[in-house]
């Protein structure tokens, strides 16, 4: 099912191919044809020819050819439907679909996109001219975002009022919900999703507005960043911020730079790295990679990859193999927290980091060797073992052997020492898989809970307590995470071990983890430890009388904890008990 065949022909017939091509190439008439420099390859003598009457183009230099639909697809990197919708809109036509339901869905989506566009414009004008946005304008100026940047990226301001946007645009409740612009609150009133935030509109690859990202002003309450929830228009696992602006530069450079946030994109672009995009509050996914591969074969990760552990590395190696991409890492200068600030102080450093990007394995090995002591035979042996583990994770034998040779020269050891035993830990040909020991470790309740605290802090903040973490590194990671405003701050405050753990968890996928079940497992483990100690004390007659009464109560709660229907109630009782007991034991 798809677009009605007759509509495809109607769009072709209604489209002036010379006008479409002329937006990209200067054409001049030559008899019944139009000629110009080819937009698909570099040339000095025009070899690109357009036949307006037949509606086709052909390049005698690179043999690229097609019609208006093909041209729009290839110059704007759209799929067939996207190109058809673009040309239909240009011709003032509404497309019909073979399937009535699909046609209705498309019309519905079109109305939602139109509403999002109105919201983007309304928020943007509010930022530019409204008195209540004065502080927001001052904040943006302090970050180096002048009026040109604000207009280029269509930044906006969401006022403090509960329903200012919904009232201004007269949004029906279902449209507010389906666009993510509003929701019905507990008082059964329509409320704006974004309030008192600087807004960064998010567009899909076609340039259609699909979501918002909001940042509070410094000193304001609430989460620093808030993104639109998943909607009929928006899937954060697929959409990349800035791709609509960057795709031309991405194709031109043959690479795309991926960073962490909206302001990072603006910083990179301001520094002259126009081929930059960002994930929208989530780790890079395979769907992101598949989208980017349509535009370029090289992906440069411009965020801190020090914590990319085995699972993350294997995932990236798998992406490289399945999607035929090369993944590189740009080593940002030490201590850089915000590329947007670096873009102002030293834009050349950002450009250098991108141009000097290294393959992931090379990056990890360089960081290992740069931070290691090689002062003794024993130290070199330890580094060689660690380097061998990193090399072993790569699925390609030629790559492993090449890196083993390079590292062996630097460590003054034989390459076979770095390759020894790799048959045991190398991923299988069928796919990248962690070793059983690592898989078990990644699935521990404490690591899953920390992963949730990294990715979904609001969902688990009230469910966790430091008493639940037994491992000292995990405990430290939890403590710094709860005290810091951002993950960057937590990593800076942590020891190298805890910082590495937090960064590794930041690239793990924990979206499918059930927060209640994970915390239930943690509580079960912690309560079982306490019960064992209390029962041992009771047998030795050294525990207080209250412990004898509490043992039976705790056992009943543990049973409730293991039942999905009673887990939440049991957790509400157990967590404060464990916390209070820990405080009491620390004092005694």
| 557 and 470 inside one domain | yes
Higher confidence at residue 241 or residue 415? Answer: 241
Treating both helix axes as pointing N-terminal to C-terminal, what angle do 397-411 and 377-392 enclose, rounded to 10 degrees?
A: 170
* CB 408, CB 417: distance < 8 Å: yes
Residue where a domain stops, chosen among 407, 424, 439? 439
The phi, psi pair for 500, rounded to 5°, reads -60, -40
Reported as a single tens digit per residue, the pLDDT across 487-500 is 767 877 888 888 87
- Residues 99-157 have pLDDT tens digits of 665 566 677 888 999 999 999 999 999 999 999 999 999 999 998 899 999 999 999 99
| DSSP reduced 3-state for 259 | strand
Cα 107 from Cα 96, distance rounded (Å): 9
Question: Are residues 401 and 467 both part of a single domain?
Answer: no
The CA distance from 339 to 271, in Å, is 10
Q: Is the C-alpha dihedral spanning 132, 135, 138, 144 positive or negative?
A: negative
Residue 233 lies inside a defined structural domain of this protein:
no
- Answer yes or no: is 315 within a domain: yes
Residues 129 and 83 in one domain: no
Query: Quick check: is 349 in a domain?
Result: yes
Q: What are the phi and psi torsion angles at 233 (to 5°)?
A: -105, -25
Domain-ending residue, one of 329, 364, 399: 364
Q: What is the DSSP string of 312-343?
A: HHHHHHHHHHHHT-EEEE--PPTT---HHHHH
The answer to whether the beta carbons of residues 418 and 387 sit under 8 Å apart is yes
The larger pLDDT score, comparing residue 27 to residue 312, is at 27
CA distance 484 to 259: 21
- Using CA atoms, how far residue 558 sits from 528, 553, 563, in Å, is 8, 9, 9
Q: What are phi and psi of 277, to 5 degrees?
A: -135, 175
Count of C-beta atoms within a 10 Å radius of residue 373: 10
Pairing type for strands 298-301 and 326-329 reads parallel
H helix or E strand, kind and range, residue 281: none
Q: Is residue 87 part of a domain?
A: yes
Contact (Cβ atoms closer than 8 angstroms) between residue 519 and residue 463 = yes
582 & 447 share domain: yes
Of the candidates 164, 195, 227, which is a domain's last residue?
227
Residue 337 to residue 265: CA distance in whole angstroms: 14
pLDDT band of 440, cuts 50, 70, 90: very low
CA distance 470 to 466: 9
More confident residue, 584 or 260: 260
Q: What is the pLDDT of residue 428?
A: 37
Beta bridge mates, 214: 199, 226
Do residues 261 and 342 both lie within one domain? yes
Exposed, middle or buried by CB within 10 Å (0-12, 13-18, 19+), for 545? exposed
Does 160 reside within a domain? Answer: yes
Average pLDDT over residues 81-101: 80
User: Domain with 263 in it: what CATH number?
Assistant: 3.40.1360.10
In tens, the pLDDT along 17-53 reads 999 998 888 888 887 788 888 888 877 788 888 888 7
User: Which CATH number do you get for residue 487?
Assistant: 1.10.860
Residues 576 and 466 in one domain: yes
Asked if residue 407 belongs to a domain, the reply is yes
pLDDT tens digits, 359-405:
988 988 888 888 777 778 888 888 888 888 888 888 888 999 999 99
Residue 470 has a CB neighbour count (10 Å cut-off) of 12
Count the Cβ atoms, other than its own, within 10 Å of residue 510. Answer: 20
DSSP 8-state assignment for residue 552:
H
**What's the confidence (pLDDT) of residue 340?**
80
- Residues 398, 472, single domain; the answer is no
Give strand pairing partners of 198.
Answer: 157, 215
Both 128 and 186 in a single domain? yes
Q: How many CA atoms lie within 13 A of 381 on its CB side?
A: 3
- Is the separation of the CB atoms in 447 and 309 below 8 Å? no
pLDDT at 257: 96
Task: Give the residue from 467, 464, 482 showing the smallest Cα distance to 581.
Answer: 467
Given this model, what pLDDT does residue 517 score? 86
pLDDT tens, position by position, 92-102: 888 887 666 55
Query: What integer best gives the mean pLDDT of the chain?
Result: 84
94 in Cβ contact with 114 (< 8 Å): no
For residues 83 and 108, membership in a common domain is answered with no
Lowest mean pLDDT among 248-257, 387-396, 530-539, 571-580: 530-539
Percent over 70 (pLDDT), the chain: 89
Q: Is residue 236, in this structure, part of any structural domain at all?
A: no
Residues 417 and 551 in one domain: no
Domain of residue 159, CATH code: 3.90.980.10
Higher model confidence: residue 547 or residue 46?
46
Where does 262-371 have alpha helices with state H?
262-270, 286-293, 310-323, 339-345, 347-355, 360-371
**Whether pTM exceeds 0.75:** no
Q: Which 8-state DSSP code applies to residue 217?
A: P
Span 208-232, pLDDT tens digits = 999 999 999 998 888 888 999 888 8
Query: What dihedral do alpha carbons 285, 291, 292, 296 form, nearest 10°?
Result: 140
User: For residue 452, what are the domain limits?
Assistant: 443-587
Spacing of C-alpha 217 from chain mean position: 22
Q: Give the chain's domain count.
A: 5
Integer Cα distance of 370 and 357 in angstroms: 16
Residue 237 lies in a domain: no
Q: What is residue 310's predicted lDDT score, i.e. its pLDDT?
A: 58
447 and 433 belong to one structural domain: no
User: Most confidently modeled of 25-29, 302-306, 582-586?
Assistant: 25-29
Distances (CA, A) of 483 to 453, 477, 486, 558: 12, 10, 9, 30
DSSP per residue over 62-115, as a string? T--EE-HHHHHHHHHT--HHHHHHHHHHHHT----BSSHHHHHHHHHHHHHHHH
Q: Are residues 489 and 355 in the same domain?
A: no
């Amino acid at each position: 099912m798809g677009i009605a065949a007759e509509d495809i022909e109607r769009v072709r017939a209604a489209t002036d191919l010379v006008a479409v091509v002329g937006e990209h190439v200067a054409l001049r008439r030559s008899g019944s044809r139009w000629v110009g420099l080819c937009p698909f390859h570099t040339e000095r003598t025009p070899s690109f020819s357009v036949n307006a009457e037949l509606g086709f183009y052909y390049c005698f230099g690179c043999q690229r050819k097609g019609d208006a639909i093909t041209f729009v697809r290839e110059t704007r990197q759209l799929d067939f439907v996207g190109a058809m919708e673009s040309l239909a809109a240009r011709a003032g036509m509404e497309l019909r679909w073979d399937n009535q339901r699909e046609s209705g869905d498309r019309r519905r989506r079109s109305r939602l996109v139109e509403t999002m566009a109105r919201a983007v414009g309304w928020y943007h004008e509010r930022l530019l001219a409204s008195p209540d946005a004065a502080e927001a304008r001052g904040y943006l100026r302090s970050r180096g975002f002048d009026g040109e940047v604000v207009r280029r990226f269509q930044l906006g301001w969401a006022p403090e009022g509960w329903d200012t946007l919904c009232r201004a645009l007269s949004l029906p409740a279902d449209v507010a919900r389906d666009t993510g612009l509003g929701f019905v609150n507990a008082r059964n009133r329509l409320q704006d999703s974004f309030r008192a935030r600087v807004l960064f509109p998010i567009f899909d690859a076609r340039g259609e507005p699909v979501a918002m990202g909001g940042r509070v002003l410094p000193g304001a309450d609430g989460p620093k960043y808030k993104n639109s929830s998943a909607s009929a228009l928006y899937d954060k696992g697929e959409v990349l911020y800035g791709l609509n602006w960057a795709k031309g530069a991405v194709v031109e450079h043959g690479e795309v730079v991926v960073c962490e946030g909206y302001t990072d994109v603006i910083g990179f672009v301001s520094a002259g790295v126009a081929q930059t995009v960002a994930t929208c509050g989530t780790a890079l996914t395979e769907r992101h990679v598949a989208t980017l591969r349509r535009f370029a074969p090289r992906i440069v990760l411009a965020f801190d990859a020090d914590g990319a552990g085995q699972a993350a590395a294997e995932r990236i190696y798998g992406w490289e193999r399945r999607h035929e991409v090369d993944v590189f890492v740009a080593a940002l200068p030490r201590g850089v927290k915000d590329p947007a600030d670096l873009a102002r102080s030293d834009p050349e450093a950002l450009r250098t980091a991108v141009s000097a990007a290294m393959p992931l394995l090379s990056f990890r090995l360089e960081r290992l060797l740069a931070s290691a002591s090689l002062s003794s035979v024993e130290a070199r042996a330890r580094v060689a073992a660690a380097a061998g583990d990193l090399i072993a994770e790569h699925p390609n034998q030629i790559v492993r052997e090449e890196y083993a040779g390079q590292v062996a020269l630097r460590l003054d050891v034989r390459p076979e020492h770095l390759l020894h035993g790799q048959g045991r830990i190398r991923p299988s040909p069928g796919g990248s898989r962690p070793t059983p020991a690592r898989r078990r470790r990644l699935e521990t309740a404490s690591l899953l809970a920390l992963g949730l605290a990294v990715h979904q802090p609001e969902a688990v903040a009230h469910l966790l307590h430091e008493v639940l973490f037994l491992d000292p590194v995990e405990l430290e990671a939890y403590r710094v995470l709860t005290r810091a405003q951002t993950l960057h701050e937590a990593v800076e405050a942590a020891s190298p071990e805890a910082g590495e753990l937090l960064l590794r968890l930041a690239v793990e996928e924990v979206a499918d983890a059930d927060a209640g079940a994970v915390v239930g497992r943690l509580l079960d483990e912690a309560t079982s430890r306490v019960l064992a100690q209390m029962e041992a004390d009771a047998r030795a007659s050294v525990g207080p009388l209250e412990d004898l009464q509490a043992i039976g109560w705790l056992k009943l709660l543990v049973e409730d904890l293991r039942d999905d229907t009673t887990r939440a109630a049991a957790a509400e009782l157990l967590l404060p008990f464990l916390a209070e007991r820990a405080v009491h034991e620390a004092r005694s």
